[in-house]
Amino acid sequence: MLNIKMGLPIFMWIKMKEDDFKMLEVRRFLSVRSARRPISSRNREEIIYISDLTGIPIPWITDGKRFDTLFPYDHRVNRIALSSRNILALNSDVNGDERWQIKVYSIDEGKLTHVIGDDENINNIGKWRADGITLGFSSNMRNGVDFDIYLYTYGRGVKGPIIKMDGRNSVEEWMTDEHLLIRHDNTNLDSDIILYNIRKGTIRNLTKHEGEGINASPIKIGDQFLYLTNNDEEYVGIARYNLNTYNWKYLYKTDKDVETFAVSPNGKQVAFTVNDDGFSKLYIANIDLSNMRKIEVPEGVIAELSWGKMGLAFAISSPKIGNEIWILKDEKPEQLTYSPKYGLKMTEMVMPEIIRYESWDGMQIPALMYKPEGKAPYPAVLTIHGGPEGQDRPRFQYLPQILVRMGYLVLSPNFRGSRGYGKSFIHLDDGDRRMNSLKDIGALVEWAERRGLIEKGRIAVTGASYGGYATLMSMILYPEYWSCGVERVGIVNMVTFLKNTGAWRRRYRIPEYGDPDRDYEMLMKISPITHVEKIVAPLMIVHGHNDPRVPVTEAEQLVEKLKEKGRKAVFIRIGDEGHGIAKVRNRVDIISEIINFIMEHTPVKSES
């Protein structure tokens, strides 16, 4: 029997008795609000950040005492940039379509202005010039594929393109009023920093290199700049580039990735984070990376750093905290935002254990394990991250925390191909090696069963995006392992995915998966649609109608094929979302449905 729920939009209000404690707990978790992406003003004691307190992520402002929205807004905001004249640039889309529009808001004037964007093109905010009124940004409006560079001047309008460029490009820094630093992505894992002279119209690739290398995030230091790179190295470090000599050198490198950094307003210090087995470590050093010291912060993942007049602002995601903004003053961290937790006791949240297990070929694979109370063997849920170059890390995540609270063991593998373990490891799943990483998922089940933690047949599997693809393939490769599966916005047919994904993304996905023309047979062999008859466990399919990355036609193919086979499945089409769930009301409704589905097919025994 095929159960299809669809509409534009749909709302599935969960019917719940007053005494239904479990579902009340689920709704507590899913209602938790978040604060992210802080910008610490350089000229005022203020921090701008993004919060979903109103039910959708929009800009907020605080001076440390007063917290308020900057303006009423009904659409998701995902990026912001603040100028020296207190003008905020923001990217927003409509119902998850990722056709990013640019708007600017003058904090002093209280005026919101539409700059550019409609439902056809994508526009990405970049960097404000020192004058505080000129914004560099990139847009694919020319042909829907390539991101050219434009300038916007407040009160005057858009100029450009000032330079036409192939592929994905972004404005990263202004060295002078006439010199831009542009990041150009050759692939998802290879990029260069381009110097563009606006007056002369000349370009120079500053980081031209052999082999694969990331070169990104330049920050001006006089006539030099610091940036992140892994040229000739396994891991990302911090380097300095001298524009007088066109030479560069590493200032800091280690056997872990540096993920983000910020420079103090006086240009004398640098703060940076390192990915240490998934946990973020925060350091501060002199601008030449001497006198480095570690700053003790709560365990979790630090996503952004911004250094301004109030201090060093950063966002922490942690099971024990949620997603909140912190501030570092005199090298002492203080929590700044306290988003509603709806009665949850954050001290009772479970911090995952980092484990390593031996895979099918002897390789050691890292994973996260959330262990519940009670006695083993536990009912279990295996969650699979997306990317595929993503990494499961000790963030605050709704699904693992709900499940472990209910008595499930949650396992999250960082299979070969995941980020955070070096340049070589991330390529171990490319092309025809895809199956090697999928077998890492099966090996985790075997590892846990040998230790008496779980039993095959009492394990649910779920993932989103690439994780949705891996969920389906795991159900195909190891049908006897699973009690049920929940596939979210996942790839079903590699060939149609690569042909139908947003045109601006296609060239960056082919090096990872393969070419749909050249590698057709290989891609169909590793596509779930080819092996649907091997899926025997109950399946739920969840997909946003407006998804530009993995179009909803992927889910529709799977639904039709299952219907042909007379197979049982539940299909939830979310009419006002895209590649994920941004709206709180949808998060509560949809994930509650997922939890109910897992509980129905993978019940927790009373003795657990």
pLDDT digits (tens, 9 = 90+) for 574-606: 999 999 999 999 999 999 999 999 999 999 986
Which letter, b or e, does each residue of 114-153 get, where b requires 16 or more Cβ atoms within 10 Å of its Cβ? ebbbeeebbbbbbbbbeeebbbbbbbbbeeeebbbbbbbe
Pick from 3-12, 130-139, 236-245, 526-535: least confident: 3-12
Cα distance between residue 39 and residue 324, in whole Å: 13
Residue 432 pLDDT grade (very low, low, confident, very high; cuts 50, 70, 90): confident
- Kindly state the average pLDDT of the residues 29-52: 97
pLDDT at res. 15: 40
- Report domain extents, the chain: 2-29+344-601
pLDDT at res. 12: 36
pTM to 2 decimal places = 0.93
- Kindly state the average pLDDT of the residues 235-253: 97
Residue 503 pLDDT grade (very low, low, confident, very high; cuts 50, 70, 90): confident
What percent of the chain has a predicted confidence (pLDDT) above 90? 90
Amino acid present at 236: V
pLDDT at res. 369: 98
pLDDT at residue 281 greater than cutoff 70: yes
Cα distance between residue 263 and residue 40, in whole Å: 12
474-490 pLDDT tens trace: 999 999 999 999 999 99
pLDDT at res. 208: 96
Residue 289 pLDDT grade (very low, low, confident, very high; cuts 50, 70, 90): very high
pLDDT at res. 311: 96
pLDDT at res. 606: 65
pLDDT at residue 69 greater than cutoff 70: yes
pLDDT at residue 607 greater than cutoff 80: no
Pick from 137-146, 187-196, 514-523: least confident: 514-523
pLDDT at res. 164: 97
157: enclosing H helix or E strand: strand 157-163
- Kindly state the average pLDDT of the residues 492-507: 92
Name the token pair of 155: 């009160």
Q: Is 25 exposed, middle or buried (0-12, 13-18, 19+ CB in 10 A)?
A: middle
Domain 2-29+344-601 part of CATH 3.40.50.1820: yes
pLDDT at res. 568: 78
- Kindly state the average pLDDT of the residues 281-293: 97
pLDDT at residue 355 greater than cutoff 60: yes
pLDDT at res. 10: 35
Residue 431 pLDDT grade (very low, low, confident, very high; cuts 50, 70, 90): confident
Average model confidence (pLDDT) for the chain? 94
pLDDT at residue 4 greater than cutoff 80: no
- Kindly state the average pLDDT of the residues 330-349: 95
pLDDT at res. 605: 81
Identify the residue with better confidence: 510 or 41.
41
248-261 pLDDT tens trace: 999 999 999 999 99
Nearest 10 degrees: Cα torsion 137, 258, 400, 366: 130
pLDDT at res. 9: 36
- Kindly state the average pLDDT of the residues 437-454: 97
pLDDT at residue 341 greater than cutoff 70: yes
Residue 497 pLDDT grade (very low, low, confident, very high; cuts 50, 70, 90): very high
Amino acid present at 419: R
Cα distance between residue 414 and residue 416, in whole Å: 7
Identify whether the C-beta of residue 549 lies closer than 8 Å to the C-beta of residue 502.
yes
State phi, psi for 5 to the nearest 5 degrees.
-110, 120
Amino acid present at 573: R
pLDDT at residue 231 greater than cutoff 60: yes
Cα distance between residue 408 and residue 159, in whole Å: 56
Residue 6 pLDDT grade (very low, low, confident, very high; cuts 50, 70, 90): very low
Identify whether the C-beta of residue 311 lies closer than 8 Å to the C-beta of residue 328.
yes
pLDDT at residue 540 greater than cutoff 50: yes
Q: Is 449 left (phi over 0), alpha (psi -120 to 50) or beta?
A: alpha
70-81 pLDDT tens trace: 999 999 999 999
Strand pairing report for 77-82 and 67-69:
unpaired
pLDDT at residue 167 greater than cutoff 60: yes
